[in-house]
Amino acid sequence: MWTQARIRELVTRQRQYFRTGKTQDIDWRIAQLRKLKQAVLSREKEIIAALAADLGRSEAEAYLSDIGPVVTEINENIRGLRRWAKPELRFSGLSCFPSTVTRVYKMPYGVSLIISPFNFPFLLSLGVLAAAIAGGNTAVLKASAKSYHSTELLKRLIADSFPDDYIALVDGGHDVADLLLAERFDKIFYTGSPKVGVHVLEAAARHLTPVTLELGGETGNWAIVRKDADLRDAARKLVFFKLLNSGQICINVNQVAVAEEVAPAFLEAVKAELKRQIGDDPIHSPEYPCLITHAAWDRCAAEAEQYRDRILVGGTGDRETRKYAPTVIWPVGIDEPIVRHELFAPLLPVVPYPDSEIDRLLDTVADREHGLALYLFTKDMAWAKRVMSTQQYGGGCVNEVCLHMMVKGAPFGGVGHSGMGAYHGEWGFREFTHPSTVLFGRTHGNLSLREHPYTGKTGEWKRKLLKLMER
């Protein structure tokens, strides 16, 4: 049982461990990353079993979505850490003469708190932990109580690999999370909903703790299918994505807007792809994942029921197994409730719009809270580039889904209600380090430009020299 006193004692021990300076050594950090990688690889079968128990994942989907990306992230940190952590050498400038040498050190924050969600319980905990380790921090992980089997395995994995005064895993519900947030951490990284993100940010503000938030986006992520799009290709990719983890993905498509000129053909393509990819009876398919809890299933079923007369395909489920069929709802108005909040379920509202009014559609999307992702399907690359370079969203794809988060060396993060900060690779290292600028002064040959007097002829030539140095 976690109590405030026990958590405070854990944080205190981690702060003492950090102050020994042990985590500063780059070789030592790399050794810890290798230890983490080995811990994942050696428990591959256990991870697959835990994901099957919690989310109904198949073996291939478990590796695709959790195990493989974690190993890739750790490998990228191992390969890049020496280069990222190397102090940057800067010329101080003539105004600092004769002290011309400045170094920028990448300093760890100290004791970090990582709060991870249920939907990718290994990727979104251990992937973030890899960045914290690379940055030279200690870490307390708060794993989700909803993904029980995965959290139990994570607890053993962490305890077997690291001392808890360096890395520790804390389990429990929201009450335990609040006990953690009451303590002073040096860095907080939270992945989850915007509502809880606000709560985390408020708690962090009491200690002025820097925070990274990876959120799903309050009004969900849009996919837009133009009339010139390859409809079969768009349907194939959107169906794959909605099936993945049964829609419980922060960057998943929440709703798709389809040009009304091609909507019938697109919907037929979606139905054909659903049959091809998951069959006629998805809720009894061993490959189709389940929702995380019965409460999540109930929310999904209740929302689908509100649109029963517009369900094109799906609309059935098995509460006992927590599986709800991928459900296409058509047509849905752009202002209806189902497209005004994040679904986190296998429901796909389809919103028709006239292709000639695409700018009006984009204005509506822009007026709402910024999504974590935006997906465009079109052959007009000039238009797509213009939209992707002017809209506000976390990241996205043109004629593709989700793969932007798998690009090595590229940042992943949100904006506004979909988050703040970015990570993956070097960007994760940056999130867990503070750049400290240090100028190395010289004791001889100092100019007196900065010293009094500032008036008379002396002040005049000082001003002239200062202006000359500004060029």
Residues taking part in catalysis = 214, 250
CA distances (Å), origin 247, targets 324, 412, 442: 10, 19, 60
DSSP letters spanning 10-41: HHHHHHHHHHTTGGG-HHHHHHHHHHHHHHHH
Quick check: 210 and 188 in contact, CB under 8 A?
yes
Largest pairwise CA distance in the chain: 90
CA distances from 173 to 125, 143, 147 (A): 16, 9, 11
Alpha carbon distances (Å) from 311 to 178, 235, 299: 40, 17, 16
Name the token pair of 309. 């007369």
Where does residue 246 rank: exposed (0-12), middle (13-18), buried (19+ CB within 10 A)? buried
Residues 328 and 258: beta-carbon distance below 8 Å: no
Q: Residue 112 is inside which H or E element, if any?
A: strand 111-115
**Cα–Cα distance for residue pair 386/390, rounded to 1 Å:** 6
Token representation of residue 269: 């393509």
Under a CB-based contact definition with an 8 Å cutoff, are residues 48 and 63 in contact?
yes
3-state secondary structure at position 309: helix
Cα 57 from Cα 288, distance rounded (Å): 7
Q: Which residues pair with 443 in a beta bridge?
A: none
Is beta strand 111-115 parallel, antiparallel or unpaired with respect to 311-313? unpaired
